[in-house]
Chains A and B, each alone.
Chain A
Amino acid sequence: MATTPIIVAKDITKRFGQVLALDNFNLSTSKGIIGLIGPNGAGKTTFLRILLGLIPPDEGEVRVMGLESQHDSYEIRQRIGVLHEYPLYPPSMTVNLFLERVARLYTDRENVVELLDQVGLENAVQRKIGKLSAGMRQRLGVAQALIGKPELVFLDEPTSNLDVMARRELLKMLTQVHEENGVSFFIISHVLSELERVCSDVAFIKKGRTIVVGPLHEVIKQFASSQYHVVVSNPRLIVDDLASIEGIENVEIAGVKTISIALKDGKQDSVLRAIEEIARRKDVQVYEIEKASTLEEAFLKVMQHE
């Protein structure tokens, strides 16, 4: 049986005055953890607002879980949870009271105390929202997104303001909620390493258009399988020579001791030998040559070519 797409966007166009935010945008994704990636101003948040029925598209149609995003907005909102990029919650209310109030809007809901425990806010139950740190407020945002036992959760930059430990905990929790309860997540984030850790599917967006959509491993395989990082003692001494090696498609300094290279298909062995040879000639020490098949590399490659 074919899986029903959880989000379908067909030919969406949205303008704000002279600014074209979405230009014939198309997307179709199934259940899972989906990542939407794009540079600033690409139209990610505009698309999210259309998905939530907060703004209408000028043209096109959006369906969320089979429901039309504008007409059936209320029904959709009963089945989803949302964490906005810059969430605003009433500062005078306590964490507990706010979540209790929000929970009552849903027919089926989580236990507030258990949820607060799950997101790590068990010690801030009676604290006023205005007194919470940025990280705690972000945790509250995640809690209010999960309070109504949603089938689909939209997270716009969910790990911003969180420290490394909290980021890891959050990503672990999302994966756990997805695996145990079958909740799908639609995540917008700039931290690609995090998306790579949790997402099943990704979509790249640029200037209001979808460029790439597909399962994470396929996107990486297609666009970043030939990426390598060469860690050397002095990149500047050999970078020009590396560019002249036949079989190297692109070369650039990526760090103080790192050169990023993209290889042409089927040339790996000969190119890697040539790199070591050039380094020996220039008296540059090669510490490591590692494959860099990451989402970030795939994203950068796609963005450079578009």
Chain B
Amino acid sequence: MNRSLQKIRATFELELDVSFPFPSTGVIFLILFLIAIGSVLLEGCFIAIAIAPHPPGVIPLDFDYIVWAQQNADFNLLAGPLFNLILFIIIVIPMLSAFKVAGPIEVGLLKTLLTYPIRRRDLLVLKVVEMLILTVLPITIGVLMGVVLIQWVSIGLTSFVLLLSFWVMASTILSTSVFLSLVTQSMTKSAFGGIAIWVVLYLVAAVTYIPNVIRGALNPVNLVLSYFNDTPGAAFFGVPFRNPVVHDVWGAIIINLVIGIIMLLLSVRQFRRVEV
């Protein structure tokens, strides 16, 4: 193996063992997976029944109707839980970033690591990749397994676009949180600051009528969901906007991705300046 790749691998292994000693990684992965699969199981029936056509007034809650409703719900069986899991990752990712980025600076562990031949850029990028995989991958696997194996819904292009928007949004939340961790260099400030910022943005995107691209840039999952259901999205404040079109969706995903990349580049720059 190439020497520089060997060094990156050695850095990754040391960093992982320092941050998450065995079996923490596996436990975190398993917990997030179970939360995701549980979310599909618990929400699936409600979402299916809520959106399935039924006679006005009474919903027939017999088994055949529920099965029929679930088959009709299709895309929404994946979209519903994923939309709600965004709230979950808005809490998990800033906390993880605070623990993995601000924590070592605050307690002095970073000083130890940076006296070894480890490049700051490599260390930060490895941390980001590690956090992204550790949070988004188990959730993705969990919801897909829940939908395909338990709800018997087939996965199509719509699901792919939805998952793409979920990954992009998670990456942006992550790079923003990492930047905040590096600026504050405090676990508490960065964790609660990151959560506060994204909860506000989530609510703005969810409950106000704003142009679709801006709404999608704040929460692309929300816009993708609206687009495939051909609705303007659930909003309460402002003047109703038109239903999103395909350009809105791709525009929103790209803007969100660009914001994430910019925040990551700023984080790498900031990390080089951190005095330990």
Contacts and interface: CB of A to CB of B under 8 A. Distances in A.
Given A55-B275, A105-B14, A107-B3, A90 B116 contact: no
A84 B115 contact: yes
B137 interface: no
Contact of A77 (B3, B13, B117): B117
A49 B114 CA distance: 11
Interface string A39-83: 000000000010011111000000000000000001001101010
A107 B259 CA distance: 38
Nearest to A154: B115
Contact of A84 (B3, B13, B112, B118): B112
Interface string B1-42: 001001100110110011001000000000000000000000
B276 A104 contact: no
A93 B18 contact: yes
B117 A54 contact: no
Interface stretch (B50-58, B103-111, B232-240): B103-111
Contacts of B114: 52-54, 77
B118 A105 contact: yes
Nearest to B114: A54
Interface in A82-128: 82, 84, 86-90, 92-93, 97-98, 101-102, 104-107
A87 B112 contact: yes
B117 A86 contact: no
Contacts of B13: 101, 104
Given A86-B108, A90-B21, A93-B21, A101 B115 contact: no
A18 B259 CA distance: 37
Nearest to B15: A101
Contacts, number: 65
B242 interface: no
A127 B11 CA distance: 22
A159 B215 CA distance: 60
Contacts of A77: 114-118
A89 B14 CA distance: 11
Given A55-B276, A102-B14, A105-B10, A90 B117 contact: no
A285 B30 CA distance: 80
A106 B117 contact: yes
A interface, over-half SS = loop
For the residues of B in contact with A, the DSSP-based class is helix
A93 B109 CA distance: 14
Interface string B203-235: 000000000000000000000000000000000
Given A74-B119, A88-B109, A106-B117, A101 B276 contact: no
Contacts of B21: 90, 92-93
B93 to A, nearest CB: 23
A176 to B, nearest CB: 23
Interface string B140-166: 000000000000000000000000000
Contacts of B111: 54, 84, 88
A97 B14 CA distance: 9
Interface string B67-111: 000000000000000000000000000000000000000011101
A82 B115 CA distance: 7
A72 B118 CA distance: 12
B14 A54 contact: no
Interface hub of B6, B14, B276 (most chain A Cβ within 10 A) = B14
B247 to A, nearest CB: 45
Nearest to B122: A74
A89 B112 contact: yes
B175 to A, nearest CB: 24
A92 B25 CA distance: 14
Nearest to B107: A88
Interface string B109-137: 10110111111000000000000000000
23 contacts: A52-B115, A54-B275, A77-B115, A77-B117, A80-B115, A88-B108, A88-B109, A88-B111, A88-B112, A90-B17, A90-B18, A90-B21, A93-B18, A93-B21, A97-B17, A101-B10, A104-B10, A104-B14, A105-B10, A105-B11, A105-B116, A105-B117, A148-B116
9 shortest interchain CB distances as A-B pairs: A92-B21, A104-B10, A82-B115, A101-B14, A55-B275, A78-B117, A90-B18, A77-B117, A88-B108
Interface of B: 3, 6-7, 10-11, 13-14, 17-18, 21, 107-109, 111-112, 114-119, 275-276
Given A97-B17, A105-B11, 6 more contacts: A55-B276, A77-B118, A82-B115, A90-B17, A105-B7, A105-B14
